[in-house]
Every structure is written in structure tokens, then in C-alpha cells.
Structure 1
Amino acid sequence: MAELGPRIGYLIPEFPGQTHSFFWREILALQARHGYPVRIFSTRMPIRSVMHDWVVNAQAQYLFPLPPASWPLVLGGLLARGGRVLSQPDARRTLRRRQTWPLLVLAGRLGQLCRREGITHLHVHSCANSALIAAFCHLLYGLPYSLVLHGPVEDYGPDQDFKWARARFGFVITEKLRQEMTAMLPSVAGRCRIAPMGVDTDHFSPQPGDRPEGRPFRWFCCARLNRVKGYDVLLDALEAIRRDRPELAWELFVAGEDEQGGQGYRRELEARIARAGLADRVTLLGAVTQQEVLDQLHAADGFVLASWAEPLGVAYMEAMACGVPTIGTAAGGVLELIESGRDGLLVPPKDSPALAAALLRLMREPELRDTLARQGRARIVESFGASRSADALAEALHDFG
């Protein structure tokens, strides 16, 4: 454990969210394994926060809305230091878009908070607006920062060259993303490393015991309620199974909520489930805690996620770590996680007949389930433990310090 080291600030958009347990596990590993103190900052509270069991310990500080008492200090800092921003051509270009002006104010707020907390490095888990805030904050206050790219570059908005230009280093979560980043911004290739997300394989582990006899086959899916997660494809596949194999007893439990707190895509899904006559078999659980996800995985006979594409897929990792046979789609970074037929099953995205065939195969072949459960768990333990990204961050802080 390091005796001395950086005091790290984590900037995470709209924290805590449904998928932010990974960030918390990474922070705990960074503190426990490397001794680096960490302070969490976030842009603002999410529309509806998820009260994971650990949230009370996170104690995030929010940039927006600014407390009234902070305005004089923030504006004073912008007046005194704004010339450092305006002297840079790429910063002036970025500020031509008026929607970036509030981000400059938030950068001033972040700089003040980081100075007060003694932060020496800012680690940003986004390449969208939070990356702009970090870049402005660097120009205003000289605070070093690093970025993490969690998905395709085009998903994170414009000004990527400005966001990355002064980053001390950056991470991508797959080789595919590293290739995309190198093609788009060759100048950052030497500062960009692969650091896959991971899971706590002690926490997410198989539960001993036999499956209860006579109950329906229990499927579990965990993902935000969004069309890109392939819910229509999954429901089409399940509807076909119910029609063609009415003797099979099964049920599906879905953990996750839409971005509107249940008032958006969830309503479409509920109507779709009702039209298909699946209301007695499909249960939407809404946003759940990390412990509830674990409980669902321990109760599940199989895990399925039919996303159009996933950068990598923490939900897959959690299921595999728990020894739950897993079905996914052969798209995005999932191909770097699952070898189909060895530690999971992959089907083409948006292909409901192929998905139905994979679902039927798992329900009918207990030996295959046992093999995928065993090999899936081994795959995650070997290559996707929770400490991996924390170790990569600690190493980069040393190498690029």
C-alpha cells in the first residue's frame, strides 16, 4: 500500500445511477489496495436516484445547482482565471456553442471544491459533458485529469479533441474501443490504455444449494429499460416459445428502470407485455439495489440480455460470476467477454428466432447449463475482477505522474 499518493476526485455524471455500483467497487479497491483517498463529485442528482446499500457512504458533492453562497467565489475565480481558457483556440471554439457556457461555470465550481478538498487528480467516468467540465477545470486551475471511455466515441458528443487534448491519460474498456479511439484521435494513443470494468467476485458468487423441484424455469434480465437493450426482441422470442412450446413453464424477472423514472419506455413495455398475454410470466421489478440484483441472480436458472450492442456488459459479468448460465448478443465488446458455447451463448442482435432457440436450448439441456455456469464463473474470476480497473488507475497515476 502506498504511504503517500494523489488525493483522487471522481467525477461521475448524475450519481448514483442504476449502473454505478461498479464505480463504487472501483473506489473501494483503489482505497483498500493502494491507499489513495477518494472524493466523489457529480454533475447533479439523477431524476430518480437508486438507493444502493452503499450510497450513504459515498457522500457525493454536486456541482449543480450552485449554492447561493458559492456564486461570488465561483464568479470571482472565472473573472480572475478566464483568460487562461480564452487564450486557447480549441477552448474558444468549444465555447462558440452556447450550451457549453454553463459547463464552464460548473468547472469553476469544481475547481473551488477540489482546492478545498486538496484533490490532486480528477478521474472522470465519462467522455460527455463531464469531460468538458474537467477540461475547463484544468485550464482554470491546472488540475490534472483522466478520462474513461465506456462506449463508442460518437455516443459522447462533440469536442472530443478538446476533451482529450490535455488529459494526462485515459482508459477504454475494450480493445475495440481502443482501435476506434486511435483512429479518431491518433495523438492520444500513447496515453490511452485498456482497463475493463469488473465485478467483486467474492460478493457476486454462486449460492450453494439445488434448484427447487417443480418450479418454472426462472430467467433474469438486468438492464435499464431502453429500446436498445433489446426488450422487444426478448419478448418476441418468449412469445414464440409460449406459442410453440406451451408445455414449458418459465418466468422472467427484469430489474431496471427507464430514464424517466418509470414514465417512459416502461409504459411501452407494460403495454407490449399485456398485448402478448405475458403479464402472468413477466415481472418488471423497477430499479433495485445491488443486494436485490444479487438475490435475483441467486434465484435465477438463466440470465438473458438481448442488447443491440454493449460496450462490454457488467450485467453479464455479474451473472457469470454468480454461476448463472448467460445468453447475450454478439455485438460490441461482448465478444471480448463471452466465447459462445464455452462460457455463455451469443446470438445475433435483433434476431428473435435465434434468441428463442438459445433460450430453449438452455431450458432443455441441464448439462450445458452446468458447463456454462462453471466456465462463466472461471472467466470472470480470471480476467474481470473488481480490482483490475483500480489497479490500472493506480499504475497510470504512477506512470504518468
Structure 2
Amino acid sequence: MTALGYLVPEFPGQTHAFFWREVTALRDGGLRVELLSTRRPAPGSCPHPFADQAEAQTAYLFPPGAAALAGLAARPRGLARALAYAAGVSGAARVAALIPSAMRLVQHCAARGIGHVHVHSCANAAHLAALAQMLGGPDYSVTVHGDLAVYGADHDRKFARARLVTAVTEPLAEQIRAVWPGHAVPVIPMGVDVDRFRPADGARAEGPARFVTVARLQANKGHAHVLRALARLRDAGVEAHYTIVGSGPDAGAIAAGIAALGLGDRVEMAGTLGQDAVLALLQQADALVLASVGLGEAAPVAVMEAMACGLPVICSRIGGTADMMTDGVEGFLTPQGDENAITAAVSALATDPALRARMGAAARARACAAFDYRVQAGRLRAALADAGAV
């Protein structure tokens, strides 16, 4: 049986739990899935229990090694096609530098019986798969996880030879259709384990309402907007506790914002947590807040996990969030950067336990119906089969 290559850049990483779930479901469904990645992640990048197992199973394409260079010398026509492709895209030298790693991919796929490669990225990894095909390697497909503008340019070239391109939200599918007209673009979100991510048994602890954000610590995730909303509510006498989970380049700025607003007694920065600790935190929280702005957000897995745990969600209208929840039903959708709306939503949930319970129950029901990772992996497999990839 030929295998499906599953290519994720710098796998495994902090945000890659949903990839591991999808691979597990595809394997449970009978596919032989071989993990591929561009390069090894930095030590400690993945805090989850599957990290060591995933890294041990993953073949890394960089550095490509001497065998790849010898392989290129033996395939002059393929090399000419790859060089012509690189010459026709933005950042030609950078893309041409991927060719040896593409040859490494070709050789690895031949050795391991990999007949198709599915790429979970629309940046350089998609170029890499296209180059590998030109060098005589397997066909490929792509899942797009964020706005195309975030992934560089030349997407029409990346998609031109693909058997299938999928998107995790309908807005992303519309972007893909605009540069790849005439093709079906299935919308297949990543999923969560709704059996594991579920409400805790028994009542949550007493005390002020507890809000949590699980996201990379960078400005576009909107932590600063939430902090200013909490400062307003403190001044209005509304009690709320806020836990920030994650790491990133703006950790210092967020800590400085907490201090400047005098929120040290009600805001905690928990740092990077593994899956088990995130689950435990969600099961003791009252709501999730994700106030992202700008580009890059699509179908946030943190929102899915929180909803599966029975939490109402306060989320900005960004990417596909409006497809994931209905404003006023499973939580609140707020305009990007609108601190008045964030303040009102946090206040409503902080002061009304019955509202939290009602929205949380609706969120759990929506998650079970729409976000089960086994269902979504099955849809991906069916789309790949329809495209002749597996």
C-alpha cells in the first residue's frame, strides 16, 4: 500500500496538536501516513505529550545532504524545470535554494513508498512540493490555514500542479478561488477531540469569573485590548480574573501593559502549557477571549477546544470565526479592536452565571456537531480520494 506523505513545516511545534490528531485519525482509518517536515523545530518547541513520538517519526528535508545533490545531477531535465519555476516567482533565489531539499523529498518518497504528499502550509512548503513534483516526485495537495497575503505571493504557481487545495474556512476558500479559478475548494476545518476536551465533572470553583486566552504572545492576538477592557471593568466594580497562556515576541510588552494598568492582582501570565494543562485550565475557566486583529487568523483551534469544554467564547470577527459560532448564542462576536464591545461582552459573562451556563451548553453542542477531529479527518481523506490522491 502506498503511503500519504504529511508535510508540516518545523513539526512538531507548540500549535501542532491538531495536526497530530488528524494524523492519528487518518491512521485509525487505515491510511499509512508518513510524517515529513522542512527542518527540525528548536528543542522544547513542542510542550505536548506526543512531541518525542512525533519527532522520532518525522523525516526532515533540510539539510538535504550529498545524496540529494547527486540526485539533481542525475536529473538534468527535472532540474531545468525546477530552475525555470524558481526563476518565475517572487524571491527566485530563495525558492531556487529549496531545490536540493525538494530532491531530498523525491528520494525519501521513493524509498518509503509515498505516492502523494499533503502540505499543511501555503508558504515555502508549497513551493517545495511543487518543485519535488517537477523533479519526478509524487503529486501533492495543500491545505491553507490563513490569509494568502500572510503566505507570500505566487499562489497560482503553487496551486497550478496540485491535485487538491482545501481551506479551513469559507473566507479562505474564496481567496483561493480568486487565484485558482475553476476549481472546487473544499472547506475542511481542523478538529478537536471532543471526547477529551469536554466540560469538567462537577461545578467550577467559586469566586470571580475566570477568563482565559490561549494564543501566541504577539500584538495581533489582541491581548492589549482585553487588558484595557479589564481595567475599565475593575474601575466599574466588576470582578474578573484573566489567565494568559502562551509565549511569543510580545511577552514583555504584555507584562508591561499589565503593570501599567495595575492589573497584577487579577491577570496571570501562565507561559507555555502542554495539552493536559490547557485542558485542565479550560475546564476550570468560565469563558475564552480571543481578540485577534489583522490577518493570519482563520479557524482558531483554541476557540474549538474552549467550546468543546463548554465555555462561551468572546471572539473578534476575523477569518472564519463567524462560521464557527453565532453571536449571542455560543458567545459574542466583536468587531476587531473594539474595546467597548469587548468590555460589554466580558461584563455580561462576568456578572451573569446563567448566561454563561446557557452559552456554554450551546458552545459544547456546536463543537460536538462541527469540530470532531475524526469527522474532519474523514472529510479530508474523502476529498483526497476524490482527487485521486489516495
Shift of 1:85: 4.3
2:229 aligned partner: 237
What are the within-5 Å matches in structure 2 for residues 73-92 of structure 1? 73-87=67-81, 89-92=84-87
Q: Equivalences for 1:181-330 in 2 at 5 Å?
A: 181-187=176-182, 189-190=183-184, 192-213=185-206, 215-245=207-237, 248-258=238-248, 264-308=249-293, 310-330=297-317
Q: Distance in 1 between matches of 2:112 and 2:90?
A: 28
What is the CA–CA distance in structure 2 between the aligned matches of 1:364 and 1:181, rounded to whole Å? 42
**Who is 1:261 aligned against?**
none
Give the alignment partner of residue 31 of structure 1, picking from 27, 32, 39: 27
Note if 1:49 corresponds to 2:45.
Answer: yes
Equivalent in the alignment of 1:361: 348
Alpha carbons of 1:369 and 1:82: their partners in 2 closer, same or farther (altered >3 Å)? farther
Report SS of the residue matched to 2:135.
helix
How far apart are the structure 2 equivalents of 1:81 and 1:286?
A: 48
| Residue aligning to 2:321 | 334
- State the TM-score, normalized to the length of structure 2: 0.94
Contact 1:44 1:65 in 2 (8 A): yes
Q: Output one character per residue of 1:272-319: Cα deviation in whole Å (capped at 9) or x when no partner.
A: 111111122211122211111101101101111111153111111100
* Unmatched tracts of structure 2, length 5 or more: none
Aligned-pair identity (%): 40
C-alpha separation between the residues in 2 aligned to 1:65 and 1:182?
Answer: 34
Closer, same or farther: CA 91–389 of 1 in aligned 2, 3 Å: farther
Asked if the contact 1:124/1:146 (under 8 Å) is kept, the reply is yes
Q: 1: distance between equivalents of 2:91 and 2:315?
A: 42
* Mapped contact 1:86–1:92 kept (Cα < 8 A): no
Residue 166 of structure 2 corresponds to residue 166 of structure 1: no
Query: Secondary structure in 2 aligned to 1:254?
Result: strand
Query: For the residues of structure 2 that align with 1:279 and 1:110, how far apart are their CA atoms?
Result: 50
Whole-Å Cα distance in 1 between the matches of residues 204 and 27 of structure 2? 38
1:177 aligns with one of 172, 180, 203: 172
Write the distance in 2 (CA, Å) between the matches of 1:287 and 1:184: 37
Tell me, yes or no, if the aligned pair for 1:308 and 1:331 is still in contact at 8 Å: yes
SS of 1:141's equivalent in the other structure is coil
Q: Distance in 1 between matches of 2:131 and 2:168?
A: 25
Point out the more displaced range, 343-352 or 81-90: 81-90
Residues 72-98 of structure 1, C-alpha deviations (whole Å, 9 max, x = no match): x10111112242242475444138711
Q: What's 1:395 paired with?
A: 382
Query: Which deviates further from its counterpart, 365-374 or 307-316?
Result: 307-316
Q: Structure 1 residues 166, 85: CA separation in 2 closer, same or farther (over 3 Å shift)?
A: farther
Looking at structure 1, the residues matched to 179 and 189 of structure 2 have their Cα atoms a distance apart, in angstroms, of 20
Alignment coverage as a number of residue pairs: 382
Give 1:63's match in structure 2, choosing from 61, 68, 72: 61
Once residues 76 and 228 of structure 2 are traced to their aligned partners in structure 1, the CA distance between those partners, rounded to angstroms, is 55
Secondary structure of 2:299's partner?
A: coil
The CA deviation at 1:378 is 0.6
The separation in 2 between residues aligned to 1:390 and 1:373, in whole angstroms, is 25
1:156 alignment partner AA: Y
Q: Which deviates more, 276-285 or 145-154? A: 276-285
Task: String of CA shifts for 1:90-111, please: whole Å, max 9, x gaps.
Answer: 4441387111122111111122
Structure 1 stretches lacking a partner, 5+ long? 259-263
SS of residue matched to 2:171? helix
- Could you say what secondary structure the match of 2:193 adopts? coil
TM-score, reference length from structure 1: 0.91
Matched, 1:94 2:89: yes
Do the aligned residues in 2 keep the contact of 1:217 with 1:251 (CA within 8 Å)? yes
